[in-house]
Structure 1
Amino acid sequence: MAFYEYNVLVLVVVVAGTAYLQHRRGSKAAVSRSRGQDGEATRAAITAGDAVIWQFKKKFLPVYLLAFGSDWLQGPYIYTMYKDEKGLPEETVAYLFATGFLAAAISASFVGSLADRYGRRSASLFFCVAYALSCFTVLFDSIFTLFAGRILGGLSTTLLWSVIESWMVTEFHRQHLEEAGSLSDIFGIMTTLNGAVAILAGLFAQTIADVTKTQAAPFMAAVVLLILAFGFISSRWSENYGDSHKSNVDGLLPGSEEKEKNGLQYILQGRKSSEFFEDITDCFGPDKHLWALCITSSCFEGVMYLWIFFKFAALKLSHEAAGKGSELPFGTIFAALMCAMMLGSLSFTYYSSLATSRWVVSPSRLLTITLFVASACFILPVLVHDEAVTFWCFCVFEICCGIYFPSIARLKEQIVEDGVRAKIYGILRIPLNIFVVLGLMLTKAGKLRPDPPSLEPRLRHRENVFIICSGALAAAAAALGAFVAE
């Protein structure tokens, strides 16, 4: 298994080197700015701006990392908890997973609107409570309780991916922090730190599960993180709202009927044009920008969730096809993949710091390139049947994930208005969850085939899934590329 340990070591060195280069460039940029024309006044302004941004990060990042840390703690054991510890049939486990994604899709149609109306802070507090209750359901053997837990889990996942980021972006604009710092920098830091938390959470979850001899332990640890997040939100966050709250409080003003549109109507009928896309508004209707976001997020994140579901199985299949009988070091592989994601986010942050360079492409074009590369990561293992190639393609896909998340967050920040941010973020997750449910159905169908001594049927099924993923990513790249074409 030296192959995987060697790759982890290489990735750690590359990540450390990239982090050092980013820190060094940031330090040089700060010194260069401080030597500007205004001398002491410039240095004082930079210092004050850095302090304000630092205070903002201290207010937001602990909540963000605690919330996602609770999710990472559960991830490695959700399947095995149901399948092994609870002893549920494979088909029931598939139904539980599908129920969670369906609940996420249904809740996405209204939780964003409720968050905009009643407050993103309140919605974040509700997320902590709902997800904690979902974790507690694993302590019971009742199938009805377990299904209720997956419904709460689906609802909580929608809140996790919509209201927390919506609060941050709106608060950033409300405090007029654009002059003090960049949202691209914050998005890059979010993804980098989230990758580090994922590694630590995975190792910690495995440790406490081994020590306590129960796979419910990581879920209880997740509850502790959610309690801490609840405390941080309660004590540090102020409330912010969307346009629907203003309409509800002040009454709908003449000519402002657009404020009452639901999220789907904004996507179908159009919205106010974003300054970020002023140069192409004449060529394309403003609603098409939201369509591009919808297609991109649905395809990429849907493929990502499917990949999470079968990535270890795919590697194990390649391992067996090569005639190797030893077990794969899944913990080491997970660490390598998370290092790759951190490398992608660090690269994005470093690239964003080069914004003044002429050769730097726009966030939209960078994301388009990333989607095409991600598409190739799934088609290459179909053409080359090799365990190492499959692993490296997975690592490159994780690098693409590290670039994708801050890139798509930046685009959403630029395209979606603050007044309907949570509403739109929620709606964008509806097709994503439907995509995942359909994909899980396909994956389940493949597993129902007989398993003869030959691995050929399973290899063909894996290739079919990879081809679908590659095609979805290529379609997303083409759709997004069309809306940034000049």
Structure 2
Amino acid sequence: MGYYESSFYGLLALCTCLLVSQPTRRGQLKKQTDDSYKPATRDDRHPEGYWYKVYALVMGADWLQGPYLYSLYRDEHGLSERLVSTLFATGFLSGAISAYFVGALADKQGRKAVCMTFCLLYAMSCVFTVVPVVPLLFLGRILGGISTSILFSVFDSWMVTNFRKNKLVEHGCDLSRTYATTSIVNSLTAIVSGVTSEWLVNVTGTKKAPFLLSAALLWCALQLIWAHWVENYGEKASTSEGASKKPSNLWATLKRPSILALGFASTMFEGSMYLFVFFWTPTMKSVQKSAGELPYGFIFASFMASSMAAALIFNIAMQRRPVKYSRLLIGILLTANFCFVKLAGPKTEDATFWLFCLFEACVGIYWPCTGYLKGRLVEDDVRAKVYSILRIPLNIFVVSFLFLAGDSKQFAKVFGACSMFLTASFGAVWAASMKESMP
């Protein structure tokens, strides 16, 4: 067994131990002393069960495409490097342009309806991606960009509003634990999807197979959303409740120091994360000591296992709230900054691998931490719109860096720039936490 295989299985064993120690909804209900709380029984259905099922399906559809999108364009479709880069940039630009309209549409017409639309649009994107006709490939990237905006804004908006509207805290649920569990589901889905996509390509002999399976998963998700989710709104709901509740002002929300700092930190961290996705492979190749091909499947799986382990630790630690979430975010940004500073300089193969694993651990804690912060700081009636707008600078950031980097050999410069931006984002969050009370 090789070094990377052993590392993966070690991380998987750690995840298994942490999974056994996880706090549960039943355990939370047992702690309640109020007689109004009904003890959970074995037959009780988890009130967020369909959220986790749908999230696993849509993220599985997304993860299935990742390993083979570039290879499908270059190897099977025979596209030039320049055209492939243009296609990737088109997806990010589409996400940036559509972000505001996606959020506004979801808040007014309903988040459930827009999530169902996501399933259709992303399935169409998968179908167009496997057709080797350039105009259709561009249409696929445009639909993919719009779908990504929905996936990372409207789904969260529906979940948080549903949590509050149905008072799930009274059923033993906790928003922080929900986000942590969602991150765990995402990591598990990524590992399974990576193995499944590789198996599909080997069995079918074509890199189109994972995209077709993605479309099938999205159809299953659409059926679950349609049958089991309850619609919720933003502005439409607040205006229909009468004059007792004044609708939130979008721009007043966006100008708050806490939201500005959180948006800036999200742009810098998530932008660095996307750049990591583009550059980790050439970085590992540049420090490779042994001859032959690196086991990229096990390396990627190790990254996902690191992210999952961190999310599991977060779920256990934050039950007692030992630190504010804003302070935890500062710690995440500082640790990520340390990773990129080291990656930008001289490094060994082993050090590079574990620095990447450490950064992925930061990712595993980042998602539930920022999800909880946004859930507490943003009002329900403009939630989807705010979440979508916060993704606009992220898409612009990634496209700009990909353009300036030129090629994959400039990873050291890119990592160095990421470290500087993460330092700036740490300062912004720190200043906002001093000026305005943050959870």
Give the TM-score taking structure 2 as reference length. 0.93
Question: Contact (CA 8 Å) 1:183, 1:410: kept in 2 or not?
Answer: yes
Partner residue, 1:184? 176
Q: Taking structure 1 as reference, are residues 80 and 409 closer, same or farther at Cα in structure 2, changes over 3 Å only? A: same
Partner of 1:219: 211
1:325 shift after superposition: 2.3
Q: CA deviation at 1:254?
A: 11
Residue 413 of structure 1 and its aligned partner are, at CA, apart by 0.2
Matched, 1:316 2:307: no
2:427 matched residue in structure 1: 478
Equivalent in the alignment of 1:421: 383
**Which amino acid counterpart does residue 57 of structure 1 have in structure 2?**
E
Q: What does 1:262-277 correspond to in 2, within 5 Å?
A: 263=250, 265-268=251-254, 270=255
**Corresponding residue for residue 464 of structure 1:** 413
Residues 345, 412 of structure 2: 8 Å contact kept: no
Matched residue type, 2:343: P
Q: Quick check: 1:346 aligned with 2:305?
A: no
1:47 paired with 2:13, answer: no
- Cα RMSD between the aligned structures? 2.3
Residue 97 of structure 2, aligned match among 106, 110, 121: 106
Deviation at 1:255, TM superposition (A): 10
Q: Which residue of 1 aligns with 2:295?
A: 329
- Are the aligned partners of 1:158 and 1:429 in contact in 2 as well (CA < 8 Å)? yes
Distance 1:4 1:246, change over 3 A: same
Identity within the alignment, %: 39
Aligned ranges 1:215-294 → 2 under 5 Å: 215-244=207-236, 246-247=238-239, 259=248, 263=250, 265-268=251-254, 270=255, 287-294=256-263
Contact 1:118 1:245 in 2 (8 A): no
Residue 354 of structure 1, CA deviation: 2.0
The residue matched to 1:108 in structure 2 has which SS?
Answer: helix
Report the equivalent of 2:19. Answer: 19
Aligned to 1:144: 135
Alpha-carbon distance change, 169 to 382 in structure 1, aligned in 2, over 3 angstroms: same
Who is 1:280 aligned against?
Answer: none
**TM-score normalised over the length of structure 1:** 0.85
The letter for the 1-side match of 2:274 is Y
Segments of 4+ in structure 1 off by > 3 A?
25-31, 244-247, 253-256
**Counterpart residue number, 2:149:** 158
Query: Residue 168 of structure 1 is aligned with which of 159, 166, 190?
Result: 159
Helix, strand or coil at the partner of 1:47: coil
Cα distance, 1:245 vs structure 2? 5.4
Amino acid at match of 1:368: I
Q: How far does residue 60 in structure 1 lie from its aligned partner after superposition? A: 1.1
2:48 counterpart SS class: helix
Amino acid at match of 1:469: C
Instruction: Call closer, same or farther: CA 1:371–1:80 in 2, change over 3 Å.
Output: same
The structure whose Rg is larger is 1
> For 1:152-196, what per-residue CA distance to the aligned partner results, in whole angstroms no more than 9, with x for missing partners?
000000000111111111011111222332111111110001100
**Partner Cα distance (1:392, 1:291) in 2:** 32
Instruction: Find the aligned partners of 1:171 and 1:291 in 2 and give their Cα distance.
Output: 25
Gaps of at least 5 residues in structure 1 are 271-286, 448-457
Q: Name 2:2's counterpart in structure 1.
A: 2
Aligned pairs, number: 434
CA distance in 2, matches of 1:27, 1:244: 35
Which residue identity lines up with residue 240 of structure 1 in the other structure? N
For residues 98-121 of structure 1, what are the alpha-carbon distances to aligned partners after superposition, in whole Å with 9 as ceiling and x for unaligned?
Answer: 000000000002110010000001
Paired letter, 2:176: S
Structure 2: distance between partners of 1:203 and 1:295: 34
Deviation at 1:68, TM superposition (A): 0.8
Question: Which deviations, in whole Å up to 9, do the C-alpha atoms of 1:235-265 show, x marking residues without a partner?
Answer: 0111111014554x689x6995x65x5x5x2
